[in-house]
Chains A and B, each alone.
Chain A
């Protein structure tokens, strides 16, 4: 869901720093601020809203996942049955595999494309700001509109097929109807739509690499290639870490693309976890099962995030 900002996508790296800062602040009293009765009052509306619409739903979600909870009608307690049900359901297994396949294809492609273009759009390129905005357009236009257009491109008799028939005389594969192509089609569309965010982040990070570092390397005889790999990449590794993390988390939540492009088909070859949650909950009216699936998704995301954090020491350089 593309909801108001930031929720879902995590500010992990900054969050970590923030926590450290918050503690430091308190200790050193650098940001003294005023001690009045107003602090709690100022934070109360936001805090209350967050408690009601984020913390409470999490608790509610756990409860629902333990029940047979129809969309309409009376819930009945099941214990862990929903979890055993989905974990032994071959369709859920496939849905998890599909999601992982999407992530494995999408995340590296997104990062390579966004990093490549960010590196290309150096300050020497004329009109780089225009290029940045162009590549960013699909990221802020409604996903539904983007997907609808791609449906027309992928369609048999659509633009890609038409071009191929004209130039090579061979019909294009049935991208959305062929099990071997459908996921690839979704990944390509998603990369087109989504890499703009990361490109902006990388662009800003590359701009911030101090020039004297690269100049020093130049004097030492390093060529542009070495400078990019050995210096710039290392300097922006915190940004790469942050972007990787966010892209991983959001890509596990892919929904609109398969929902509109393929409805999860052919068969269930492009059905994803969120599509499964939506179908179980709001097509088959099984809110308990849907909640259990949402928790499995949450646990997967937490696990991947934890692994990322553990792995970061090996390649992320924070300048001290």
Chain B
């Protein structure tokens, strides 16, 4: 509605939102609804709460009827025992290395191609972009077997490279960055050109700084995807105690120590900590990024 129309409206007509004002008596219903919502959220969180509680229990108190939330004492040494039983700190370090390098590679190639697909004109651009988009529809599982055979051929089985490199070239980043660059005004380009900047200089000094927030969202998605990745490491890494990442280590730990629930839960808490921290710190951007791009690594 334009300003003129609003101004022309007679003053004594009620604004539409006043027509159905919530009455005073219906105060109770929202309160009950809110309480219900809180209960649902609590129920939803209960597995995680139970996980944390169990991670501090004495092994003898994990099972029992009636079940208890907390044991008789906080057993902090569950964590040191879990860390000592398997090299969990090494898994975390491996995970950081793999996810960190993979993210850098992913973001780098994505920002370059995203720029090329949006602001540079070159032969074959649209055709290649269509191929990029088409690859988004291929399930990873189809790629796992041939990828393993390829890794065998080049001797990458059981290496960090095999965890990092194959998954750094997914097309999503190019798509996201292209969207962003299309929204940047052409005048900026022209101004840079007038100032004598070439394509590379314009990209590095004008475009790259502008893309910061979009790059950050892509980086976080990419990092979480690498950090949580499970099927591929399970296939390509045999030497888990040296090269394992966190999910792989946790799974091995679980298979070996399935009865030691207090330790397994401590290990699970540890494995969740980094991504949880990331979510809490960056929730605004992350939530917005997922809601608008409709994507994340599932």
A residues adjacent to B (C-beta < 8 A): 1-12, 14-15, 18-19, 22-23, 26, 31-36, 38-43, 45-47, 49-50, 52-58, 60-61, 64, 69, 117, 120-121, 124-126, 129, 131-146, 148-153, 157-159, 162-163, 165-166, 192, 194, 197, 200-201, 203-204, 212, 215-216, 218-219, 239, 242-243, 246, 249-250, 252-253, 255-256, 260, 273-274, 277-278, 281-282, 287, 290-291, 294-295, 297-298, 301, 305
What B residues does A145 contact at CB under 8 A? 247, 250, 268, 271-272
Interface string of B108-119 (1 = CB under 8 A from A): 111011011111
Tell whether B256 is near chain A: CB-to-CB under 8 Å: no
B residues adjacent to A (C-beta < 8 A): 1, 16-17, 19-20, 30, 33-34, 37, 40-41, 44-45, 47-48, 50-51, 54, 63-67, 102-103, 106, 108-110, 112-113, 115-126, 128-133, 135-150, 165-175, 182, 186, 189, 193, 198-200, 203, 218, 221-222, 224-232, 234-235, 246-247, 250-251, 254, 261, 264-265, 268, 271-272, 275-276, 278-280, 283-284, 287-288, 290-292, 294-298
The 7 A-B residue pairs whose C-beta atoms are closest, nearest first, are A6-B172, A39-B122, A49-B169, A204-B291, A162-B67, A42-B116, A46-B113
Contact B66 A166 (CB under 8 A): yes
Contact A152 B130 (CB under 8 A): no
Q: How far is the CA of A43 from the CA of B232 in the complex (A)?
A: 27
What B residues does A47 contact at CB under 8 A? 113, 128, 132
Q: List 17 additional contacts besides A5-B297, A50-B171, A61-B142; criterion CB under 8 Å.
A: A2-B298, A3-B232, A4-B106, A4-B225, A6-B175, A6-B295, A11-B136, A34-B120, A43-B112, A45-B108, A53-B165, A144-B254, A242-B294, A249-B137, A260-B251, A277-B145, A282-B148
Which of A33, A58, A125, A138 has a CB less than 8 Å from the CB of B34?
Answer: A125
Contact B19 A56 (CB under 8 A): no
Which of A149, A194, A204, A278 has a CB less than 8 Å from the CB of B47?
Answer: A149
Contact B227 A4 (CB under 8 A): no
Looking at A40, A54, A117, A253, the one whose CB has the most chain B CB atoms below 10 A away is A54
Looking at B50, B131, B167, the one whose CB has the most chain A CB atoms below 10 A away is B167
Residue on B nearest A41 in the bound complex, by CB: B116
Contact A7 B295 (CB under 8 A): no
When A54-B135, A253-B139 are in contact, do A2 and B230 touch as well, CB less than 8 Å?
A: yes
When A2-B228, A32-B186 are in contact, do A159 and B50 touch as well, CB less than 8 Å?
A: yes
Which of B34, B41, B63 has a CB less than 8 Å from the CB of A158?
Answer: B63
Q: How far is the CA of A1 from the CA of B231 in the complex (A)?
A: 5
Task: Name the prevailing secondary structure of the B interface residues.
Answer: helix
Which of B123, B145, B170 has a CB less than 8 Å from the CB of A4?
Answer: B170
When A22-B130, A246-B294, A277-B144 are in contact, do A1 and B149 touch as well, CB less than 8 Å?
A: no
Which of B34, B110, B189, B225 has a CB less than 8 Å from the CB of A46?
Answer: B110
Q: How far is the CA of A60 from the CA of B186 in the complex (A)?
A: 43
Contact A297 B130 (CB under 8 A): no
**A132 shortest CB reach to chain B, Å:** 6
When A22-B130, A218-B16 are in contact, do A204 and B292 touch as well, CB less than 8 Å?
A: yes
Residue on B nearest A26 in the bound complex, by CB: B126
**B179 shortest CB reach to chain A, Å:** 8
**A128 shortest CB reach to chain B, Å:** 9
What A residues does B130 contact at CB under 8 A? 19, 22
Q: Write 30 A-B pairs (CB below 8 A) sorted by A numbering.
A: A2-B230, A10-B136, A12-B137, A14-B175, A22-B126, A23-B126, A31-B186, A32-B121, A32-B186, A34-B199, A36-B198, A43-B112, A46-B169, A53-B165, A58-B146, A125-B34, A132-B287, A133-B283, A141-B272, A144-B271, A145-B271, A148-B254, A149-B47, A152-B51, A158-B63, A165-B66, A201-B290, A204-B288, A215-B17, A246-B298
What B residues does A218 contact at CB under 8 A? 16, 19-20
Which of A1, A50, A137, A153 has a CB less than 8 Å from the CB of B140?
Answer: A1
Contact B133 A281 (CB under 8 A): no
**B275 shortest CB reach to chain A, Å:** 5
Which of A19, A61, A252, A278 has a CB less than 8 Å from the CB of B133?
Answer: A19
When A5-B296, A5-B297 are in contact, do A46 and B145 touch as well, CB less than 8 Å?
A: no
Contact A141 B276 (CB under 8 A): yes
Q: How far is the CA of A47 from the CA of B112 in the complex (A)?
A: 10
What A residues does B34 contact at CB under 8 A? 125-126
What A residues does B290 contact at CB under 8 A? 197, 200-201
Contact A4 B139 (CB under 8 A): no
Which of A50, A153, A201 has a CB less than 8 Å from the CB of B294?
Answer: A201
Q: How far is the CA of A203 from the CA of B288 in the complex (A)?
A: 10
Looking at A7, A22, A32, A150, the one whose CB has the most chain B CB atoms below 10 A away is A7
Q: How far is the CA of A105 from the CA of B291 in the complex (A)?
A: 25
What B residues does A163 contact at CB under 8 A? 66-67
